[in-house]
Amino acid sequence: MKTKNYDITIIGSGPGGYRAAVLATLRGKKTAIIENQTWGGTCLNRGCVPKKDWHETAKWIEQSRHFEKRGVVGMALTGDMTQAWQHQHKVVETVRASYVDYLKRLGVHLYNGTGCFLDPRHIQIQSAAGLAEIHTETSVIATGSVPSLPQGITTVPGKALTSDMLYDDGVPSGDRVIMVGGGVIGTEFAYIFTQLGKQVEWLTHAPPLAHTRYSPQAKDTLKAALAALNIHPQAGFRIARIETTTAGVTVFDDLGKSVQGDWLLLATGRHAFTEGLGLENTNVTLDDRGFVRTNTMLETEEPGIYAIGDAVGPIMNANQALSDAQIVIHNLLSAEKQERDPLWVPELVYSAVELARIGMDDDAAEDLGFEPAVGFAAFETSPRALGQDDSVGFVRLLADMDSGELLGGEIVGRDAGELIHLLAGNGNRDEALRKIVETRVNHPSRAEELVNAAETLAARWGLEERIFGATD
């Protein structure tokens, strides 16, 4: 068997692996990427991309309730989840084909198969075609994550599924869906499924998003938006056991309560996936939660092997995986090293309202000795939001009371996922609020509320000079 040589080999083609492969090749490195499922990883095939496709459809259905008063008459829109599945599937296939095409055009060597370290510089690739072996100077572990199930619970195709199974296998028959989990997936899917025509029994242990850094005001806004659509989480339910029959599924908690439905979606977390990677043939180690142990520059304990994205955790989103890929490729090619700073990577939730946040929350700012000044602007009087019949939400900025440095920000409402980029620039955060108030805006737009929030903050907390500049 002839061994091929690479400068950089990436295992896993999710957003982390794909981005690392693109950046390494654009910067002149001979690069290989290995994938044992569908190209594009969780995010493209079973996560962000199909989920956002569905979220868009859900929003249309929700907004169609305003159509008549807007002068759009003669339509009664309802959701069809099976057709919605077909739609996301086409989008995903199109994106996947373009990803693979781009990688090939760049000259990345693509391997379909499972990568396994034989030693720190040799990787075996096992595929239907047989075994191959490559030599590589450096490698990036980008193997992502898989769903976690509570103890004693197993999946049953068509009856008790994870989000991976839902996107891989299609929508089971039956409209009565039980959803377990009050994390990000539960919070997003409870909304999406309901708009797509399902009757959802949403069982959560803690209140939705309890373990996230969104402000109480953001969580309250979300709760009210969900309640307005008659979506109510049933908190205090810890799933202990399930029974499935051809007719459906019954879910039991540890106090003996039971709920029946046609099928069940288990959204009870995810964990890093490193099985079969041959880490025992390297010095790479895992922490006690199963994440690959790295330093802040994403170097593992084995020189020359890096790890990124969900495999490193603990924050598991595509934005973090993309940011990690940039850091690793930069550090591989530059003497000046960059460090991971998860705080300044945007986090999003796409539910009955969009929630976006970046930077510190109030508690973290105070713990670090800052005195947070808050700037607030609501969308309820935004001409753009009112014209869209979608004026729920706000912009909330946090700055240091002495210096005016931007400490963090939160945007709740339509397009929050786009607007958050105005706070995510890598520039000097001392100057961030001044840059916002100096931005030449499009009117009417939602972005204007960021300017309003920054101006409010300046005026309320005596930071006019820092934020508007000195007056003569």
Ligand X SMILES: Cc1cc2nc3c(=O)[nH]c(=O)nc-3n(C[C@H](O)[C@H](O)[C@H](O)COP(=O)(O)OP(=O)(O)OC[C@H]3O[C@@H](n4cnc5c(N)ncnc54)[C@H](O)[C@@H]3O)c2cc1C
Residue 321 in contact with ligand X, rule: CB under 6 A: yes
Q: Which of 139, 282, 317, 388 binds ligand X (CB under 6 A)?
A: 317
321 binds, among ligand X, ligand NAD, none (CB under 5 to 8 A by kind): ligand X
182 is a site residue for ligand X (CB under 6 A): no
Other Cβ atoms less than 10 A from the Cβ of 7: the count is 17
Binding of residue 196 to ligand X (CB under 6 A) = no
Both tokens assigned to 247:
């007719």
For ligand NAD, the binding residue among 87, 109, 122, 238 (CB under 6 A) is 238
Q: Is 74 annotated as a binding residue?
A: no
Annotated binding residue at 187? Answer: yes
Helix (H) or strand (E) holding 355: strand 354-359
Query: Are the C-beta atoms of 35 and 73 separated by less than 8 Å?
Result: no
198 is in an annotated binding site: no
* Closer CB to ligand X, 142 or 353, in the complex: 142
Q: Helices 318-333 and 15-26, interaxial angle, to 10°? A: 30
Separation CA 342–CA 56 (nearest Å) = 27
267 binds ligand NAD (CB under 6 A): yes
Write the CA distances from 332 to 17, 26, 327, integer angstroms.
Answer: 15, 13, 9
**Residue 349 sits in the site that holds ligand NAD (CB under 6 A):** yes
DSSP code at position 273: -
Choose between 299 and 347: whose C-beta lies nearer to ligand NAD: 347
- Is 185 labelled as part of a ligand binding site? yes
Among 79, 208, 309, 408, binds ligand X (CB under 6 A): 309
Q: Does 182 bind ligand NAD (CB under 6 A)?
A: yes
CA torsion 198-201-205-207 (nearest 10°) is 70
Tokens 């946090």 identify what position?
398
| Helix (H) or strand (E) run with residue 11 in it | strand 4-11
| The pair of three-digit structure tokens given for residue 305, joined into one six-digit string | 């092997």
Query: Does 8 interact with ligand X (rule: CB under 6 A)?
Result: no
Angstrom distances, CA of residue 346 to CA of 36, 319, 327, 419: 29, 7, 16, 11
Sheet containing strand 258-261, strands side by side? 239-245, 248-253, 258-261
DSSP label of 286: B
Is 183 annotated as ligand-binding? yes
339 labelled ligand-binding: no
Stretch that binds ligand NAD, among 106-114, 300-308, 343-351, 406-414 (CB under 6 A): 343-351
Residue 42: contacted member of ligand X, ligand NAD, none (CB under 5 to 8 Å, by partner type)? ligand X
Residue of 248, 269, 304, 342 that binds ligand NAD (CB under 6 A):
269
**Choice between 67 and 273, CB closer to ligand X:** 273
Stretch that binds ligand NAD, among 12-20, 78-86, 179-187, 404-412 (CB under 6 A): 179-187
Binding ligand X (rule: CB under 6 A), the pick from 178, 179, 185, 416 is 185
123 vs 284: CA distance, rounded Å: 14
409 residue type, one letter: G
Interface pick for ligand NAD out of 77, 97, 106, 206 (rule CB under 6 A): 206
CB neighbourhood size of 122 (10 A): 17
Is position 443 annotated as part of the catalytic site?
yes
Helix (H, G, I), strand (E, B) or coil at 409: strand
Tell whether 52 is in a known binding site.
yes
Nearer to ligand NAD, 253 or 299 (CB): 253
Helix (H, G, I), strand (E, B) or coil at 422: helix
Q: Which helix (H) or strand (E) holds 444?
A: none
Asked if 392 interacts with ligand NAD (CB under 6 A), we say: no
The residues binding ligand X (CB under 6 A) are 11-17, 34-37, 41-43, 46-48, 51-52, 114-115, 142-145, 163, 185, 273, 276-277, 309-311, 316-319, 321, 348, 350
Q: From the annotation, which residues make up the binding site for FAD?
A: 52, 115, 143-145, 310
Q: From the annotation, which residues make up the binding site for NAD(+)?
A: 181-188, 269
Catalytic residues: 443
